[in-house]
């Protein structure tokens, strides 16, 4: 039975030798691109088009036509290929946009011609190029997903979005469409046609001048806006792999017992040069899969509801539909079709959620300390880290369609953005029901837990924590840090303490920036600590004057690049007296809630994800034991 897909929906492939079919009422070009596990193309050689038709495992048609059919061998595409995308493009001289012609229909069939999945690429308007569907590798098995992502700026924009530089995308698009290159691109055109294998980027790394989907942009929140959804981004734009050693082989899943049976999940079953990086990428894949499968389900329900409304309107517009017998039968039939479609979509969702839950059950216990929940036994170990981890766990993410399934929310290190733990009651339904004092204590407990995590996952002496608690209201929550002696100095109180701490950290930022610009980052005064620094600011803006606020903004903007990071525990409404002056500060920080709240968005379909903070279990000594290890490691690190 053919699976009729809607946009975003996926379907497993039990066969690796398939045929791709395209049917359109106008001539179209059928192209195929290959990419890594994030869909990024390594270079122009990863696109099969009429000028360069063959790639390993496939060969595309040589001209535009209203029907195409060509074979694809997924076993032959190469181990580095994780995504194979079918791209449809309107040739020069044809229709000006896909919206002017009937929707193309694409199918994936077995070598025997039996169709496995089909997708009608609806919803297009001004687009002239579209990623119709993709076949992607997940845990050793292949799936097909209906994509339907169109580009009004054509094939060039599509290729640029897949990771190619602007000039390369321009020349490759011209070659694929059979257009003559511009004079200034002639040399590049030759290079594109005969390009060798290009240097490959790491998964999640942008090319120069590009921005990953989901990265915050200046001005993406208007001044005066209430706290809105913050986009989650697992990538770190400055992270680069420095080792030259070959990657460790990823573990392979057990072969399925029957065709079409999902493989047994394996912890670390993702690309990466170390187990830590593979687990990080696997968590990213789980997050992406959950986002897309829920989006497909919601899209199917919306489609079913809109079709039901349309059919009910048509029944009422027909005079025969107003009669009791025929009218009731037509309406009942329309509702049955709606319920059948929703049930099919729910069955697909339940299948995907079951696989994700099984994967979570094996991944969660295997996570290293920096990624693990506080209740994971790994926190009771005695190992001292020798290097900074890739990322840090901030909490968990979930969606209402998947109760009980939580995906770790990881943030890359070093912190490119500061953190803001919102201890205010506005903007959060959960916070509105809580006592103000309890909410503020939870927010401060969460800040202390993050500080302990950061100290515990850095080598001894490589991380310093400063605290500004102008009114002393956070003394109870800060007691473990003060008692253990891991703070760089006692918490700063009063206006004088605020000024002194900010002056000290501002001076450090200025000196490091000057040393870096002079090309001698190691030539720093002896009193400047080379370790990374975290500043926790509690009860802002108490104790802050205009000069202190200006310095705080400076640290938020300039500090992360030179190892000074900011963690604020504050109520934005309490700082409203400063007006729009502080809007850039709030936009620069990632907002987190100390209680479960749906205020985070993903970079693809912008779900409202529920964020649940990860706090140490009540009456547990895990934080005290972690602080003891940190203290011992620091003693051992002192010369």
Nearest in space to 279 (alpha carbons), one of 352, 372, 351: 372
Domain 417-594 of CATH type 3.40.50: yes
Please give the average per-residue pLDDT across 296-302, as a whole number: 87
Which has more pLDDT, 217 or 234? 234
Q: Hey, what are 509's tokens? A: 């930022």
Q: How far apart are CA 27 and CA 89, in angstroms?
A: 9
Given the structure tokens 């205009």, which residue do they identify?
546
pLDDT exceeds cutoff 80 at 260: no
In three-state secondary structure terms, 221 is: coil
pLDDT at position 179: 61
pLDDT exceeds cutoff 70 at 159: yes
pLDDT at position 240: 34
Looking at residue 380, the DSSP 8-state letter turns out to be: G
pLDDT at position 34: 95
Please give the average per-residue pLDDT across 9-38, as a whole number: 91
pLDDT at position 238: 33
Please give the average per-residue pLDDT across 315-334, as a whole number: 72
Lowest-pLDDT choice from 308-317, 333-342, 591-600: 308-317
What residues have CB less than 8 Å from 67, skipping those under 6 apart?
Answer: 21, 22, 23, 24
Contact indicator for 61, 68 with CB cutoff of 8 Å: yes
What residues have CB less than 8 Å from 385, skipping those under 6 apart?
Answer: 369, 456, 457, 458, 459
Q: Which fold has domain 3-180?
A: Lipoxygenase-1 (2.60.60)
Q: Are strands 463-469 and 418-422 parallel, antiparallel or unpaired?
A: unpaired
Q: How far is CA 346 from CA 144, 228, 352, 574, 600, in A?
A: 18, 30, 10, 45, 24
pTM attached to this predicted model: 0.65
Q: Mind listing the pLDDT tens digit for each residue in 204-219?
A: 333 333 333 333 333 3
Ordered strands of the 532-540 beta sheet: 463-469, 532-540, 564-570, 418-422, 589-592
Using 50, 70 and 90 to split pLDDT, how confident is the model at 328?
A: confident
pLDDT at position 634: 81
Please give the average per-residue pLDDT across 588-615, as a whole number: 88
Using 50, 70 and 90 to split pLDDT, how confident is the model at 320?
A: low
pLDDT at position 158: 93
pLDDT at position 457: 92
Q: How far is CA 265 from CA 273, 401, 434, 566, in A?
A: 20, 22, 40, 38
In three-state secondary structure terms, 178 is: coil
Q: How far apart are CA 454 and CA 452, in angstroms?
A: 5
pLDDT exceeds cutoff 80 at 490: yes
What residues have CB less than 8 Å from 494, skipping those under 6 apart?
Answer: 470, 543
Q: How far apart are CA 554 and CA 560, in angstroms?
A: 10
Contact indicator for 531, 463 with CB cutoff of 8 Å: yes
Domain boundaries, the chain: 3-180, 230-236+262-413+595-625, 417-594
In three-state secondary structure terms, 106 is: strand
Please give the average per-residue pLDDT across 50-57, as a whole number: 90
Contact indicator for 76, 224 with CB cutoff of 8 Å: no
pLDDT at position 313: 82
pLDDT at position 256: 45
Contact indicator for 449, 616 with CB cutoff of 8 Å: yes
Using 50, 70 and 90 to split pLDDT, how confident is the model at 193?
A: very low
pLDDT at position 576: 84
Write the Ramachandran bin of 480: left for phi over 0, alpha for psi from -120 to 50, otherwise beta. Answer: alpha
CA dihedral for 302, 306, 307, 312, sign (positive or negative): positive
Using 50, 70 and 90 to split pLDDT, how confident is the model at 178?
A: confident
Burial of 626 (0-12, 13-18, 19+ CB in 10 A): buried
Q: How far apart are CA 116 and CA 5, in angstroms?
A: 10
What residues have CB less than 8 Å from 332, skipping those under 6 apart?
Answer: none
Q: How far apart are CA 61 and CA 89, in angstroms?
A: 13
pLDDT at position 190: 33
Contact indicator for 482, 451 with CB cutoff of 8 Å: no
pLDDT exceeds cutoff 80 at 397: yes
Q: How far apart are CA 492 and CA 469, in angstroms?
A: 6
What residues have CB less than 8 Å from 429, skipping those under 6 apart?
Answer: 597
pLDDT at position 189: 36
Lowest-pLDDT choice from 222-226, 424-428, 446-450: 222-226
Q: How far apart are CA 191 and CA 185, in angstroms?
A: 10
pLDDT exceeds cutoff 70 at 188: no
Average pLDDT over the chain, rounded to an integer: 82
Which has more pLDDT, 154 or 140? 154
Using 50, 70 and 90 to split pLDDT, how confident is the model at 638?
A: low
pLDDT exceeds cutoff 50 at 635: yes
């Amino acid at each position: 039975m053919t699976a009729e897909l809607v946009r975003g929906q996926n379907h497993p492939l039990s066969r690796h030798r398939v045929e791709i079919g395209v049917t359109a009422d106008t001539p179209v070009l059928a192209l195929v691109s290959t990419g890594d596990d994030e869909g990024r193309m390594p270079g122009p050689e990863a696109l099969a088009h009429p000028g360069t038709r063959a790639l390993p495992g496939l060969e595309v048609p040589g001209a535009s036509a209203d029907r195409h059919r060509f074979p694809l061998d997924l076993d032959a595409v190469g181990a580095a290929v994780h995504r194979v995308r079918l791209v449809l493009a309107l040739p020069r001289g044809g229709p000006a946009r896909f919206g002017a012609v009937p929707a193309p229909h694409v199918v994936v069939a077995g070598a025997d011609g039996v169709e496995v999945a089909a997708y009608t690429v609806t919803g297009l308007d001004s687009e002239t190029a579209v990623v119709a569907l993709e076949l992607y590798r997940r845990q050793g098995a292949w799936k097909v997903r209906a994509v339907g992502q169109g580009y009004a700026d054509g094939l060039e924009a599509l290729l640029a979005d897949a990771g190619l530089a602007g000039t390369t995308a321009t020349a490759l698009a011209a070659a694929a469409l059979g257009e003559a290159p511009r004079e200034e691109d002639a040399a590049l055109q030759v290079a594109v046609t005969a390009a060798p294998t290009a240097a490959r980027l790491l998964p999640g790394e942008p090319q120069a001048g590009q921005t990953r989907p989901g990265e915050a942009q200046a001005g993406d929140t208007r001044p005066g806006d209430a706290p809105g959804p913050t986009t989650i981004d697992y990538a770190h734009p400055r992270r680069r792999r420095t080792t030259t050693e070959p990657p460790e082989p990823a573990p392979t899943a057990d072969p399925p017992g029957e065709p079409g049976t999902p493989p047994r999940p394996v912890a670390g079953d993702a690309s990466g040069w170390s187990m830590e990086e593979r687990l990080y990428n696997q968590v990213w894949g789980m997050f992406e899969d959950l986002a897309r499968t829920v989006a497909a389900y919601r899209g199917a329900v919306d489609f079913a509801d809109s079709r039901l409304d349309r059919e009910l309107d048509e029944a009422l517009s027909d005079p025969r539909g107003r009669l009791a017998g025929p009218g009731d039968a037509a309406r009942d039939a329309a509702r049955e079709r709606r319920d059948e479609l929703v049930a099919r979509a729910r069955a697909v969702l339940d299948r995907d959620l079951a696989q994700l839950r099984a994967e979570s059950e094996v991944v969660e216990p295997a996570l290293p300390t920096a990624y693990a929940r506080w209740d994971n036994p790994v926190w009771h170990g005695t190992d001292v880290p020798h290097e900074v981890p890739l990322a840090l766990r901030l909490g968990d993410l979930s969606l209402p369609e998947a109760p009980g399934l939580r995906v770790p929310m990881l943030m890359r290190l070093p912190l490119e953005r500061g953190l803001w733990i919102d201890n205010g009651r506005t903007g959060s339904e959960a916070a509105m029901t809580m006592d103000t004092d309890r909410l503020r204590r939870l927010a401060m407990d969460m800040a202390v837990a993050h500080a302990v995590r950061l100290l515990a996952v850095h080598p001894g002496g490589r991380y310093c924590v400063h605290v500004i608690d102008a009114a002393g209201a956070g003394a109870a929550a800060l007691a473990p840090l003060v008692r253990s002696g891991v703070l760089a100095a006692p918490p700063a109180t009063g206006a004088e303490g605020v000024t002194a701490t900010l002056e000290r950290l501002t001076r450090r930022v200025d000196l490091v920036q000057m040393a870096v610009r002079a090309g001698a980052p190691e030539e720093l005064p002896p009193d400047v600590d080379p370790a990374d620094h975290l500043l926790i600011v509690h009860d802002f803006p108490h104790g802050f004057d205009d000069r202190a606020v200006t310095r705080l903004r400076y640290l938020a903007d300039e500090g992360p690049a030179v190892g000074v990071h900011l963690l604020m525990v504050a109520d934005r409404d309490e700082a409203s007296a400063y007006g729009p002056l502080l809007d850039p500060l709030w936009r620069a920080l990632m907002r987190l809630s100390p209680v479960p709240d749906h205020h985070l968005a993903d970079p693809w379909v912008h779900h409202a994800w529920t964020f649940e903070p990860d706090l140490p279990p009540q009456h547990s000594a895990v934080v005290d034991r972690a602080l003891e290890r940190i203290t011992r490691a620091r003693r051992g690190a002192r010369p």
